[in-house]
Copies of this chain bind each other. A is one copy, B any other.
């Protein structure tokens, strides 16, 4: 089955507003077995839109649009669909009533221009929009489907999950589609691709590779008539990949480094504190992005210069013997943080974020350490020499290493 997506609105063509709806829909459709052949961003122009829809109807089974459902003169998606299908729009008294109620509930009188949001064409049924005034349209026409959705991403996703997805699933013959994302660290895209090359030729399950901020991701999609069969297909490839990539795999699907670390801390009832230099507070900030992190995060220190490191418990002789940017200082920082905040675990991180070298060490050199009862661990990184990347990658690597340490049974500190 072929699909096509339109993001409608002149503001999308100015370069300021990025279209996030189309990638969202494209990702969802790939899981439904609908192949997206084209994504088009087009302005608020009736003729352009109507022509585009006519061409799309000739070549695609499913057409999805976002935007252009507002109450202003510029909002022309409904009108253009009507033109491309040769149908007439009429005001639906039921929709009009719902719209008036929407305004009434907010102590407002419905402006006259909003009437245009209550129109329908014969082949369209309306899709309720609980978050705004623009209902969507679900159209069946000569075995083709057109779905028109509002442009604000939260309204669109709400409608997608609650209204559109069930309608499409019901329409698609029941085949089971399973997906799994495997997340790796410390390998380049080319290295991952080479290691799992033998799985790329297979059509089902299919395999995709994506470079992300937290490493290289692999996505497996398996399709079959039954769930058992789909799981079986998936399992074979997943096992094969796990064997090839081994300990480079750090997580699956929606796992994030900070949530995994947080869960591992909460599971074991341990608390944590940090002393950061080159990451400048990003480690603490990412740790505390997780709701409920106040249960395990005791506190953090950002000690940018040598003096503040010394004043906060890093021994003088460590820095003078090994330098501020060293494994030894990272470990001393971890220990100092742990002691200062009376935490079970301390993290220390020091390095060169750039733009210039420090202590003759190149930009991207980072040392990190984890200190806990019965076990101290430290490690070195050599990251791409760009300030934001050094900070971000160092934090990801530390959180993944922390999770690993917490899950090692032999490292159990209590």
List A residues at the B interface (Cβ < 8 Å).
11-18, 20, 22-30, 35-43, 45, 48, 208, 210, 217, 219, 274, 276, 279-285, 287-289, 291-294, 297-305, 308, 341, 353-355, 387-388, 391
Q: Which of A15, A30, A42, A298 has the most CB of B within 10 A?
A: A15
Q: Which of A36, A37, A281 has the most CB of B within 10 A?
A: A281
Which B residues are CB-close (under 8 A) to A287? 280-281
Give complex CA distance A13, B27 in Å.
8
Which B residues are CB-close (under 8 A) to A16? 23, 27, 208, 210, 217, 219
CB pair A291–B15 under 8 Å, yes or no, is: no
Which B residues are CB-close (under 8 A) to A299? 301-305, 308
- Stoichiometry (number of copies): 2
Which B residues are CB-close (under 8 A) to A387? 289, 291
- Chain A contact surface mostly: mixed
CB closest residue in chain B, given A29 = B15
Which B residues are CB-close (under 8 A) to A26? 13-15
Give complex CA distance A116, B27 in Å.
32
Q: How far apart are A64's CB and chain B's nearest CB, in angstroms?
A: 12
Q: Which of B15, B40, B292 contacts A27 (CB 8 A)?
A: B15
CB closest residue in chain B, given A297 = B304
Q: How far apart are A352's CB and chain B's nearest CB, in angstroms?
A: 11
CB closest residue in chain B, given A211 = B17
CB pair A302–B281 under 8 Å, yes or no, is: yes
Give complex CA distance A267, B46 in Å.
54
Give complex CA distance A50, B285 in Å.
49
CB pair A304–B308 under 8 Å, yes or no, is: no
Which B residues are CB-close (under 8 A) to A291? 354-355, 387
- A-B contacts, 7 of them at CB < 8 A, read A13-B26, A14-B27, A37-B42, A39-B42, A281-B284, A281-B287, A299-B305
Give complex CA distance A388, B219 in Å.
27
Give complex CA distance A41, B45 in Å.
19
Q: How far apart are A293's CB and chain B's nearest CB, in angstroms?
A: 8
With A288-B304, A301-B302 known, 13 other A-B pairs at CB within 8 A are: A14-B36, A15-B36, A37-B45, A38-B42, A276-B281, A279-B285, A281-B281, A281-B282, A285-B391, A292-B355, A299-B308, A300-B302, A302-B302
CB pair A288–B280 under 8 Å, yes or no, is: yes
Give complex CA distance A354, B291 in Å.
7
Give complex CA distance A217, B11 in Å.
14
Q: How far apart are A220's CB and chain B's nearest CB, in angstroms?
A: 13
CB pair B305–A294 under 8 Å, yes or no, is: yes
